């Protein structure tokens, strides 16, 4: 059977919550879902690096793990040289985007399929031309899609059996957990929903690690036999070592396959890494592809802000993750939709507030802004100064409702009142008042 590996499981849908997620940490995409559906505020500042498939495969190669070989190409002109290095006569052309569902995706040009089986080198070149430089839209990218800047030209393997394997972090187990299924090559969330008996888990003691015997037993439980079981176990232990050595929060192989020539191969791979470990994983984090990320989120990170774009039209500028979540909840309570999660933190400067305001104003979906500040550590006058500074640079062409409470709230209110924008800044007595006002103004 020829696998195009066009439906990797892993990154959750941007628009829907996933059915199966064992890890305790959340990626930015998962965080968006948490915020959209009002889940725990405790997750608000957990972010994780997601890397391209080819990056994960290069990492596996360094650890001696058998994976689907291939080469990255940035232009179609590089494809003939890539195919010449591969041992097979057929090839798989894979768009490199940070989302799953590539095989079933559609490009903005109308071309269908972000993963293609190429019978010849010429086909590989033609498919690459249709992918590179265009936007691929899948069920995980959202309607805006992601631009394809690289393709992975891979060997085409004959596959006799597909499995699913992942190593995740889960608080319930206090550390890593193996997750596997004999139903590989398909959406694992669907398997968990329709055939939960085919999902197997095995906790790993973080102090003892994954032993060869444990890995072999797990491989056999999934259905691997004889030499295949031994090779699968070997790959599992090596993948576990990658996870520990590189501070990964998730390694997901789908499909994890057997071939007739006795190989056990990682066909598709998804790796997430803990942002908190970026200081000691510089080589890994150098592989981050900011072109695949929301430019507003990249700008916010550079400014030291906690920002995540959502799909509403009421922007929020708040200090504190819990208050930010409460602010978004109350906007929804009164019939509005938040456009972002934005926490300026307790020690924000006027410059950071200015940066936050600019980021908000750059969102074309935003129709109004709610500024909600509780001055505990953060001073209300600093927020006011930042808002005025940003307004002078960007202008104000939409309603802005401001609720200030706590440290220096009178001073902050005075700064706003005496500014040239006083007629465009609407004061609110409390959070209920603020939410009702901004929702009402944005509905006009």
Segment 358-362 mean pLDDT: 89
How many degrees, rounded to 5, is the angle at CA 239 between CA 233 and CA 240? 90
Whether 188 has a pLDDT exceeding 90, the answer reads no
Between 360 and 124, the higher pLDDT residue: 124
Q: What's the whole-number average pLDDT of the chain? A: 87
pLDDT tens-digit readout, 165-181:
999 998 888 899 999 99
Structure tokens at 379: 């001073």
State the pLDDT at residue 4: 47
**Distance separating alpha carbons of residues 201 and 36, to the nearest angstrom:** 29
Decide: 23 and 316 in contact? Cβ < 8 Å.
no
The string over 346-362, giving b where at least 16 C-beta atoms fall within 10 Å of a residue's C-beta and e elsewhere, is: eebebebbbbbbbbbbe
Residue 134: pLDDT band (50, 70, 90) is very high
Contacts of 194 (CB under 8 A, 6+ apart): none
Residue with tokens 């498919």, as numbered in its chain = 127
State the pLDDT at residue 25: 37
Global confidence as pTM:
0.75
DSSP string, 334-393: TT--B-EEEE--TT--HHHHHHHHHHHHT-TT--EEEEEEEESSS-HHHHHHHHHHHHHH
Residue 185: pLDDT band (50, 70, 90) is confident
**In 3D, which of 201, 167, 163, 160 has the Cα closest to residue 183?**
163
Annotated active-site positions, please?
164, 252
Q: How many CB atoms lie within 10 A of CB 322?
A: 13
Between 184 and 377, the higher pLDDT residue: 184
**Distance separating alpha carbons of residues 24 and 170, to the nearest angstrom:** 4
User: What residues pair up with 401 in beta bridges, in sequence order?
Assistant: 370, 426
User: What residues pair up with 179 in beta bridges, in sequence order?
Assistant: 166, 201
Strand 70-73 versus strand 151-155 pairing type: antiparallel
Decide: 64 and 80 in contact? Cβ < 8 Å.
no
SS3 232: helix
**In 3D, which of 432, 365, 360 has the Cα closest to residue 396?**
360
**Distance separating alpha carbons of residues 359 and 293, to the nearest angstrom:** 14
**In 3D, which of 247, 218, 189, 214 has the Cα closest to residue 59?**
247
Phi first, then psi: give them for residue 10, nearest 5 degrees.
Answer: 140, -90
* Cis peptide preceding 255, ω within 30 of 0: yes
Residue with tokens 């509780």, as numbered in its chain = 374
Segment 140-154 mean pLDDT: 92
**In 3D, which of 433, 438, 337 has the Cα closest to residue 35?**
337
Find which of 12-16, 79-83, 308-312 is predicted with most confidence, using mean pLDDT: 79-83
**Distance separating alpha carbons of residues 332 and 327, to the nearest angstrom:** 9
Residue 26: pLDDT band (50, 70, 90) is very low
Residue 84: pLDDT band (50, 70, 90) is very high
Decide: 399 and 421 in contact? Cβ < 8 Å.
no
Whether 36 has a pLDDT exceeding 80, the answer reads no
**Is 280 exposed, middle or buried, given 0-12, 13-18 or 19+ CB atoms closer than 10 A?**
exposed
- Under DSSP, the state recorded for 160 is S
Structure tokens at 139: 């069920």
Decide: 325 and 376 in contact? Cβ < 8 Å.
no
Structure tokens at 256: 């994890």
State the pLDDT at residue 282: 94
Whether 354 has a pLDDT exceeding 90, the answer reads no
**In 3D, which of 355, 248, 360 has the Cα closest to residue 302?**
355
pLDDT tens-digit readout, 380-410:
898 888 888 888 888 888 999 999 998 899 9
pLDDT tens-digit readout, 298-338:
888 888 888 988 989 999 999 888 999 999 999 999 999 99
Q: Considering Cα of 31, then 33, then 38, then 40, what sign does the dihedral take?
A: negative
């Amino acid at each position: 059977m020829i696998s195009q590996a066009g439906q990797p499981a892993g990154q959750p849908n941007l628009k829907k919550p996933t059915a199966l997620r064992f890890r305790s940490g959340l990626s930015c995409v998962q965080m968006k879902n948490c915020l959209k559906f009002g889940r725990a505020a405790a997750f608000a500042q957990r972010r994780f690096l997601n890397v391209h498939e080819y990056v994960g495969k290069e990492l596996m190669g360094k650890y001696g793990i058998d994976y689907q070989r291939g080469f990255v190409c940035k232009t179609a002109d590089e494809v003939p040289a890539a195919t010449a290095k591969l041992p097979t006569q057929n090839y798989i052309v894979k768009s490199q985007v940070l989302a799953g569902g590539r095989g079933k995706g559609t490009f903005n040009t109308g071309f269908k399929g972000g993963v293609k089986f190429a019978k010849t080198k010429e086909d590989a070149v033609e498919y690459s031309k249709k992918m590179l430089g265009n936007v691929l839209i899948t069920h995980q990218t959202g309607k805006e899609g992601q631009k394809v800047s690289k393709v992975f030209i891979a060997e085409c393997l004959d596959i006799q059996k597909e499995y699913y394997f992942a190593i995740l972090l889960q608080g319930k187990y206090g550390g890593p957990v193996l997750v596997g299924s004999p139903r590989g090559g398909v959406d694992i969330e669907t398997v968990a929903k329709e055939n939960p008996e085919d999902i197997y888990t095995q906790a790993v003691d973080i102090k003892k690690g994954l032993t060869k015997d444990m890995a072999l037993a797990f491989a056999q439980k999934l259905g691997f036999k004889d030499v295949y079981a031994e090779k699968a176990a070997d790959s599992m232990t090596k993948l576990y070592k990658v996870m520990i050595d590189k501070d990964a929060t998730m390694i997901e192989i789908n499909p994890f396959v057997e071939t007739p020539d006795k190989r056990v191969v990682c066909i598709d791979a998804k790796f997430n890494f803990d942002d908190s470990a970026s200081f000691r994983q510089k080589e890994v984090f150098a592989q981050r592809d900011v072109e695949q990320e929301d430019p507003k989120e990249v700008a916010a990170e550079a400014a030291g802000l906690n920002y995540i774009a959502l799909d509403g039209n009421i922007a929020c500028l708040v200090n504190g993750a819990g208050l930010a979540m409460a602010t978004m909840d109350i906007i929804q309570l009164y019939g509005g939709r938040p456009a972002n999660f934005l926490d300026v933190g307790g020690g924000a400067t006027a410059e950071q507030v200015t940066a936050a305001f600019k980021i908000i104003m750059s969102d074309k979906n935003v129709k109004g802004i709610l500024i909600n500040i509780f001055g505990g550590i953060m001073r209300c006058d600093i927020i006011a100064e930042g808002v005025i500074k940003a307004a002078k640079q960007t202008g104000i062409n939409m309603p802005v409702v401001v609720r200030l409470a706590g440290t220096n709230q009178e001073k902050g209110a005075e700064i706003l009142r005496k500014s040239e924008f006083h007629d465009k800044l609407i004061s609110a007595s409390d959070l209920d008042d603020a939410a009702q006002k901004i929702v009402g103004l944005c509905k006009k």
